[in-house]
Amino acid sequence: MKKLTKLLCFLLFISFLQPFMFFKTFADNENNISILFTHDMHDHVLPVNVKQNDKILQLGGYARLKNAIDNEKLKNPDALLLDAGDFSMGTVFQAIYASDAPQLRLMGELGYDAVTLGNHEFDFRAEGLAQSLTSARKNSSKLPVIVQSNIEFPKDKNGNLTESLKRLKEAMEYYGVKDYTVIEKKGIKIGIFGLIGKDSASNAPMAEVKFLDAVENAKRVTEILKNKEKVDLIICLSHSGTNSNKSKSEDEILAKKVPDIDIIISGHTHTKLSKPIVSGKTIIVSCGEYCENLGVLNIARATNGSWNVKDYNLIPIDNSLKDDSNISLSIEGFKKILEEKYLSKFNLSFDEIIAYSPFDFVESSNIGKKHGEEPLGNLITDSYIYAVKKAEGSNYEPVTAAIVPNGTIRASFVKGNITAADAFAVSSLGIGPDKISGYPLISVYLTGKELKTACEVDASIAPIMPEAQLYISGISYSFNPKRIIFNKITRAEIIKDDGTLEKIDDNKLYRVVAGLYSAQMLSVIGEKSHGLLSVVPKTKDGKPITDFEAQIIYGYENGKKYELKEWLALAQYLKSFEKINGIPQIPEYYNKTHGRKVIENSYNIVSILKNPNNISLTIYAVIIVLLFLIIFGIYKISSKRKTKKHIEI
């Protein structure tokens, strides 16, 4: 009886406490906010095959992403869904970016509350972004809010906007792009604004708009949000990024200089943070690239009003998630539009298998990390020469070399079938004068000396700037990383069609093929190296090129003229290989290297000092002079001491 009495008393006590426990749980829940986030998705609307740790994984895809979002919203119905920019450009879906805006329309279906613009949203220039915004608003009633706080529309000397900037300004107003937005969740007012950082802005040279100082504009907007809008939480969608080098970590700098920001969703650098960076009271998060993860940040408000991390998780978007049927249906619709408006121009279809690879190429996340010859680079540059031969036919003029920089290679191939869409993803950047997606190939002429300089750029610049690493078809060269910068090349020769090597004539003009953007960048080598290196792309008659677009190489399909795009050259080359069971097979040749780029790691004094160029001789002279001055200084100091001792004696 006593035990029963005690049990009843205990249950009575618990029932008495329950209302208080409920109120406490309710109060705690009211002070919690869940934030779901992405960034740098780069049009990865469909899953892609990725090699990770010797396993082939299928990652990403918006239909799976929707499933992950819905799962989180079952736990937290009031969760915010945000994106920090570069949601476009990276797969063939970008080809209808301007005309049909699949990116924003799909993000609307996914339920995004707010997004910001990254530098790649400006890839199709002001005109392309204007068309995309207008198309999105005309074709969808459910779209994310776009917040952008640090762009300006510069006027010409007459105080007017250019026609393209005028259209972009009108399109932004029509879409409803805002400086910031305020969203209320569970009685908590949340202010959200967006920024493009300094490095990101430098990667949008054709944007036409002016990008204002990110820190100053963050201060301006947070002041409004804090004092005018009276928000409880400030979130910055920053397309600036973080860096292991703190002096270059723009979002960490932003957090220190604008401490009123509570949360920074950090995009641009494609960083994947396994745990948040906490700077002062600011929480910085990143979930990686290409829709491979959904970031989940749960925060709780402390009694002093600041926000603390309650829970943080990166949910992999992999085949453990089911496809959302509605999103899949929308994607299929965009695929059909894409085939009709873009791929049909090149007599290709979206899922068409154009080749089979019996082996894996370098993992997409590791492209360019190793300094050296790369089979994927060989495949791409060889494809340029093949496609030019095909396009020019009987009018073909031999190409000595083809060049692709690491920074323009955006994807890779794994063992298995390769589709037209896969080929596009490898070289997906840019737009040509035809106003359709993909940089075209162009023809330029360089002297033999400038060809060697291009090799030197690879040898000297790539270790400090990986995106500048060059892969070159038609040239074999060696370099010693231990030699003085800008004098690392020890040998450079032309690879003839029969595989033999030929000495480069410094004064002869050689035909070189590269993408439009890459060729233009060759011309700024002199500026970037402060005049120490010089490459001046020329026309066939040796005159410096002033209009690079006039050098575009064209192909013909069904009697129609088209720009020979970088990705199309690759697709054509893949389709040219010998077939097995009706499918072209990438030959074993591309499963290994072939001495195109040879690294000689040697500390041998002869190897380090032999064949000095003018740069090395100048550096050696400076070193000798400095040594002489040091020795002379030591001698003078020693002489004075001896004289002083002599006088004292």
In this structure, the chain runs to a length of 649
pLDDT at 149: 97
pLDDT at 178: 97
Closest CA relative to residue 279, chosen from 263, 247, 303, 255:
255
Residue pLDDT, tens place only, 176-231: 999 999 999 999 999 999 999 999 999 898 899 999 999 999 999 999 999 999 99
Mean of per-residue pLDDT scores for the chain: 90
pLDDT at 365: 79
pLDDT at 458: 94
pLDDT at 14: 46
Mention every residue, 6+ apart, whose C-beta is less than 8 A from residue 474: 381, 385, 399, 400, 401, 402, 494, 495
Instruction: Count Cβ atoms within 10 A of the Cβ of residue 325 and give its class: 0-12 exposed, 13-18 middle, 19 or more buried.
Output: exposed
Helices 62-75, 325-341: crossing angle, 10 deg rounding: 150
Given a cut of 70, the residues of the chain with pLDDT beneath it are 1-30, 523, 526-530, 606, 613-629, 632-633, 635-636, 638-649
CB-CB neighbours of 200 under 10 Å: 26
C-beta separation of 136 from 143 below 8 A: yes
DSSP 604: -
Distance CA(214)–CA(268), nearest Å, equals 14
Strand order from edge to edge, sheet including 441-447: 441-447, 509-515, 401-405, 470-473
Closest CA relative to residue 65, chosen from 344, 415, 314:
314
Helices 102-110, 325-341: crossing angle, 10 deg rounding: 180
Distance CA(308)–CA(304), nearest Å, equals 11
CB-CB neighbours of 264 under 10 Å: 30
pLDDT at 483: 93
Closest CA relative to residue 376, chosen from 473, 444, 477:
473
pLDDT at 22: 40
Can you say how many angstroms the Cα of residue 526 is from the centroid of all Cα atoms in its chain? 25
Residue pLDDT, tens place only, 445-472: 999 999 999 999 999 998 988 888 999 9
C-beta separation of 179 from 193 below 8 A: yes
pLDDT at 9: 52
- Which three-class secondary structure state does DSSP give residue 433? coil
Q: Tell me the two tokens of residue 49.
A: 């095959």
C-beta separation of 116 from 85 below 8 A: yes
Query: Which pTM value belongs to this model?
Result: 0.86
Nearest-Å Rg of the Cα atoms of the chain is: 29
Count the helices and strands in the chain (H runs, E runs): 18, 30
